[in-house]
Amino acid sequence: MSGPRIAVVGVGATGAVVAAALLKVSPETTLVTRRPDLRRALVDDGLNVSGALTYQVPVQSAVASVPELSRVDPDVVFICTKTTALHGVLDELEGVFRSGMKIVSAHNGLGTEDVVAERFGREAAFRMNLNFGAAISGPGTVETAFFNPPNHLGCLSKESREIGEVVAALLTRGGLDTQLVDDIGLFVWKKMMMKCTMASICAVTDKTIKGALEFPPTREIADACFQEFLDVAAAMGYDLGQDHLAQAVAYLAKVGVHKDSMCHDIAAKRRTEIDFLGGKVVEYARQKGIPTPHYLTMTNLVRALEDNYLER
C-alpha cells in the first residue's frame, strides 16, 4: 500500500513529538488543535523539538476540529489528548469514521483502547505505549527529557497487523523507534503501575514523585498501592512480578524530581485523569472481586479535590 493518510489529534507535548516523527516522513500529516495561536505557530514555524529527541519540521496542514478531517479522510488517526478529552474526540470522530479507519490511543492510563473498540470495533482500535518524556516550552516548541526506545504499538485485532507494521515503520523511520507487539496490554500495565500509583498520591500531597517516595508516610501508602496494583494486574492476566516493581521504584526514585501532571491539574482547577488511572484500577479490582482499599481511598480523595471546583 502507498503511505497511509494520517492525522494527529492533540498537539500538546506528547502529540507534538509523535506528529514531528510522522511529519518527517509523511509531510502531509494533518494536525488537529483547537487553539488558534498554536495553529498559526505550527503553520508559520513548524514543529520544533529539542533535547533527547530533536526535530524541526514544517507543518502543511493544521485544522481546528476533528470534523474538518472529513476533507482529509485519514486512514489512521492518532489521539494524543489527555484522557479527559477522549470521549469528546470519539464523539466527533463519529462523523468522520469509515470502515477501515484505524484509531490509535496514545494516552496515559488503563483501558483507553477498549473505549475506542467499544465505539468503533476492535478492528479499528490500536494502543501506543510511549517511552519518552516531554514538556511544552512554547507554541509548537517541545523539550524532551528522555527517550527509552522502543515505543510499543499494538492492535486489538490480528486483521489490523499489516497496517500496524506500516505505522510502526513510519514512526521508526521518523526517528521515534516503535515496535508492533502482540500484546500491548503487557507494556501498558508495566508502565501504568508507576503512573496510576503516584499520580493520586502526588496530587493529594502536592509532593514531587521523588519526594513522595522518600517521605515515609507517603511511601507506606505507595507500597500498599503498588501491591494492590500487582494483584489486579495478575487477575487481568499480567503477572508483573516483584522484580519489575523494584526496578521501576528504583528508577523513579532517581528521576522523579518533578511533580506529576495531576498536581498541575489540581492547581489549575482542571479535571484530572483519575478515571483512567486509579479509577480504572479500582474498576478492574471490583470486577475481579479484589479489595483495593488504598487505591480506592486515593482515587476518592482526588475526586473530592475535583469536586471542590468543578461545576456539576
CATH for 214: 1.10.1040.10
Predicted structure pTM score: 0.96
Q: Which of 141, 161, 182 is the last residue of a domain?
A: 182
Chain centre to alpha carbon of residue 137: 19
Q: 230 and 166: one domain? A: no
Backbone φ, ψ for residue 250 (5° rounding): -65, -40
Q: Is residue 163 situated within a structural domain? A: yes
Q: Does residue 51 carry a pLDDT above 50?
A: yes
Q: Is residue 312 situated within a structural domain? A: no
| ω into 139 cis (within 30 of 0) | no
Report the number of distinct structural domains present in the chain: 2
Q: Is residue 309 situated within a structural domain? A: no
Rg (Cα) of the chain, in Å, rounded?
19
The range of the structural domain enclosing residue 287 comes to: 186-304
Q: What is the CATH number of the domain that holds 25?
A: 3.40.50.720
Q: Is residue 153 situated within a structural domain? A: yes
Q: 123 and 244: one domain? A: no
pLDDT at 255: 75
Over range 40-46, report the average pLDDT.
Answer: 96
Mean pLDDT for the chain overall: 96
Give me the percent of the chain exceeding a pLDDT of 90. 92
Q: 252-281, pLDDT tens digit by residue?
A: 877 778 899 999 999 999 999 999 999 999
Cα–Cα distance, 194 to 183 (Å, whole number): 20
Closest by alpha carbon to 298, among 159, 224, 226, 200? 200
User: 180-215 burial, b for 16+ CB within 10 Å, e for fewer?
Assistant: bbeebbbbbbbbbbbbbbbbbbbbbbebbbbbbbee
Q: HSE-up of 210 (CA within 13 Å, CB side)?
A: 7
Backbone φ, ψ for residue 142 (5° rounding): -135, 140
Q: 27 and 46: one domain? A: yes
Q: 210 and 295: one domain? A: yes
Neighbours of 31 (CB within 10 A): 28
Which band of pLDDT confidence, cut at 50, 70 and 90, is reported for residue 98? very high
Q: Is residue 133 situated within a structural domain? A: yes
Cα–Cα distance, 13 to 233 (Å, whole number): 28
pLDDT at 1: 44
Which band of pLDDT confidence, cut at 50, 70 and 90, is reported for residue 3? confident
Q: Which of 148, 164, 182 is the last residue of a domain?
A: 182
pLDDT at 257: 85
Q: Does residue 312 carry a pLDDT above 70?
A: no
Over range 182-210, report the average pLDDT.
Answer: 96
Q: 218 and 130: one domain? A: no
